[in-house]
Chain A
Amino acid sequence: MLNEYFIRRVLYLIPVLIFISFMSFSLIYIAPGDPAEIMMTSPSGGYDEAAVEAFRIAHGLDQPFYIQYFNWLKNAAVGDFGYSYMSEQSVFETVLNAFKNTLKLSVLALAIALVIAIPFGVVSALKHNTIVDDACRFGALLGVSMPNFWQAYLMIIFFSVIVHWLPASGFGHGTDIRYMILPAAVLGTGAAAVMMRMIRSSMLDVMGKEYIQTARGKGLSEKIVIIRHALKNALVPVITVIGLSIGFLLNGSVVVETIFGWSGIGNLVVDSILSHDYMMVQGSVLFVAVIFLLINFFVDLVYVWANPEIRYDKTS
């Protein structure tokens, strides 16, 4: 059953991806500006018409739109995503590299988000309508409404400029955890706020269910009731939120990456769009789309695992 479902989902991916690639290609094509001119504009400020024209011909940019798109599609179908106009480097390698960096931040950010969201969500629900609950909800409100860049600057000012615990920004070869903590904390706290509210309401819902009374009635300790019975069931609807958060985290945050000088996928996508680097835009957008689709798929699978009431079969 599951195999069939899996194959069906994978087959669905193909038209979706073709559609996405066509959309991104046409949008960037319609947007004002000429990639050849952008690439051939010197940092001094100017471009030379002859050089722009030569670039256009060399990269097939003088061809009509549909030919350019089909050429790209044809190559992409066999796994050749071409080379960046800007840096002349392989699109696939560049995207993969940026993704690796984003992945590192995302894992840490997710860990931070869960470490904050789960305990506070549970406590908030258990202490429903007390001052503790209010404090938790206020924290969540703050977390959701505080803009990322603002939070980032505040954290840099406190942790780097005032107490000197962590570097203000930088990449640290991508391995030094000190450089990851602040950006991951900024990303993680934002995600935590949403998750916490979700866990709270889900917990409230579950705590009122009969099986919790039953569990209590069996004489189980409150700890076991909350963790094994309540939390496990409460987390099912939260999976969607977590899945979505992972999706957003993995697609990188331009603001956080820019402020912390982290060279992730968010910056790559924006840079390549701004410079009309068609090849890089196509490659990175497609990559981001695949990640999103895979996560959705994975979330669906986790659903089945977490809640036996949900089944994927032919009739569903």
Chain B
Amino acid sequence: MALRTKLSFACTAVFFIAVVICSGCVQTEDSEEKVLRVALTTGPDTGGSLDPSISWEGWPMRRTGIYETLFSYDENMNLQPELATGYKQLNDTEWEIQLRRDVTFHDGTIMDADAVIYSINRVLDPSNSRSSEYSFIKNVYKTDDYTIVVETNESYAPTILMFTDTIMSIVSPDTENLDTEPVGTGAYKFVSFEPGASIELVKNPDYWGEAPKIDRIIIQYSKDAAARTLLLKSGDVDITRDVLQSEYATFEADPGTNIVSKETLRTYFMYINEGKAPFDDVRVRQALNYAIDRQEIVDTALEGVAGSPAVGIFPDIMPWSANDKIEAYEYNSEKALELFAEAGIKQGSDSRLYYNGEPFTIEIQTYTKQAAHQPMAEVIAAQFEKIGITTTIKIAEANSISADAVAGNYGLALYSWGVAPVGDPDYFVSSHFLSTGTYASTWLRYSNPQVDEWILEARAETDKEKRTKLYDMIQEQVQNDAVLVCIAYKKEIDGLSPNLKGFEIYPNEYTFITKEMELA
């Protein structure tokens, strides 16, 4: 019997040893080839399509470096021509775009005006779920093989910027199936894709620009932040996006890893339901703004590394931000109490706040898809409690909060937005501060005729200086109206191996792999 026990132990041992030996022999890599291993959070949706013009699949596709757009942003949010060489506004409604010559797609097809128009028309097609965003376009036509003209229905200032959206990726017109075989013009070519798991790329030797420096890239997707962090620690990847903020110090101290962080275009803020008393009183909204200590929120919920305190809705890195011109709501609990008192929310003998004889209570709703939301809401609740507001937090799914918000059934909702996916202010401003905007009308219930007028004027104003002035005024007014409680600007934190050079964080969240990246 002892023998049998030994046998079974031996069997188990043999099994594990075999497995370990196996693990040694499968490793067959060409040592000459420079392979970059990357861990990203999410890829194309589960079972996903790789077509950049389906909903927002363009985001994960852009990150791979397969596709390019006519214009794009560099790492400091400067607009730059990409597949275009420049543009000219012909009149109020016509924009001429000159295209880069000598660009070929990965399948050898020439990138010219026809290919560009083909790509644009895929988005304009009414069957495209996002075609309404481009309904400002009346017509697109070519004047020669490398020049196109975009005609708009009316004067529309963001026209050129709308072509930086990843949905406007220029695709090869000769491809059979863009769902599974992406063919673009980028520095890296598609090799294979495992839905939900990984994507593999090789360098494009015929790239039109500076030659890419890495031979092969393997991107694996991992939704779990701890798992991504461990991938970098074990050396299985050379770079991982969004590492745990709590690991920042560890990585910084470790000579085997580098850590980089940068402000993005994502802003954490709270919606205020103006349709519900007492939030309809601007003094109450201002008081809420004064009642929170943004620095403390950043230092605790974001551990001082994953963000910076906000002023207005647009982060400083956004070219249209008026943060240096508008007044910030500096933490001031006395001022908050004063404003509350003016609005009829008074301290009781127990130094709690009372509104209409009832304890003044606030519910903050939030969702947890962004990891910082919940800790942030907790810190804010504690700050509100400190001045006597009874505060509760409700964690729900984003779409259940949205249902509540549309029904008017909420007080505050903590959200985060990439406030300018195409780098233009109109996107956020029109949806949140224009009376007819989706979020202004159904969430905030905010309406200011003066702001409406400025927004419509700014949208049509193509003179950059005049337009800037208008957006400055809009940002100042909504700050005074305290439409939102802006909290912090998110910083992206990425961990990488010291061997990887030339990597930059792009504030737009969708540019990741670039030709500049290099493995030492």
Contact = CB atoms under 8 A, between A and B. Distances in A.
Query: Do A and B assemble together?
Result: yes
A167 B220 CA distance: 12
B129 A33 contact: no
Contacts of B416: 45
Given A177-B26, A259-B227, A115 B12 contact: yes
A43 B509 contact: yes
Nearest to B27: A178
A259 B233 CA distance: 15
Nearest to A119: B8
SS class, residues of chain B in contact with chain A:
mixed
A65 interface: no
Contacts of A94: 46-47, 195
A313 interface: no
A46 B398 CA distance: 11
A101 B427 CA distance: 41
Given A165-B23, A268-B46, A120 B8 contact: yes
Contacts of B59: 43
A180 to B, nearest CB: 10
A44 interface: yes
B54 interface: yes
Interface stretch (B136-144, B318-326, B385-393, B417-425): B417-425
B230 A170 contact: no
A51 B234 contact: no
B399 A37 contact: yes
Given A87-B44, A160-B234, A169 B222 contact: yes
A116 B15 CA distance: 10
Nearest to A270: B46
A248 interface: no
Contacts of B81: none
B48 A181 contact: no
Nearest to B60: A43
Nearest to A55: B129
Interface in B3-44: 4-5, 7-9, 11-12, 15, 19-20, 22-23, 26, 44
Contact of B48 (A34, A47, A86): A86
Nearest to A98: B47
A32 B399 contact: yes
B179 interface: yes
A122 B1 CA distance: 11
Given A115-B12, A181-B19, A168 B509 contact: no
Contact of A32 (B220, B221, B397, B415): B397
Nearest to A276: B399
Contacts of A267: 46, 196
Contact of A168 (B55, B197, B236): B236
A32 B233 CA distance: 40
B230 A49 contact: no
Given A48-B132, A89-B179, A84 B12 contact: no
Interface residues of B, number: 70
Interface string A260-299: 1111000110011011100010000000000000000000
A142 interface: no
Interface string A236-265: 000000000000000000000011111100
Nearest to A32: B400
B418 A33 contact: no
B130 A51 contact: yes
A156 B221 contact: no
Contacts of B246: none
B223 interface: yes
Contacts of A27: none
A222 interface: yes
Contact of A88 (B49, B198, B415): B49
B195 A119 contact: no
Interface string B228-251: 001101111000000000000000
Interface of A: 32-34, 37-51, 54-55, 58, 84, 86-89, 93-94, 97-98, 101, 115-116, 118-120, 122-123, 126-127, 132, 153, 156-157, 160-161, 164-171, 173-174, 176-178, 181, 222-223, 226, 258-263, 267-268, 271-272, 274-276, 280
Given A88-B49, A169-B222, 17 more contacts: A32-B397, A43-B509, A44-B419, A86-B47, A87-B47, A98-B46, A122-B8, A123-B8, A160-B236, A161-B234, A168-B230, A171-B198, A223-B4, A259-B224, A261-B197, A263-B195, A263-B197
22 contacts: A32-B399, A32-B400, A41-B399, A45-B415, A45-B418, A48-B438, A51-B130, A87-B45, A87-B48, A88-B54, A94-B195, A98-B46, A116-B12, A119-B11, A120-B8, A123-B8, A160-B230, A170-B220, A176-B26, A261-B197, A261-B220, A268-B196
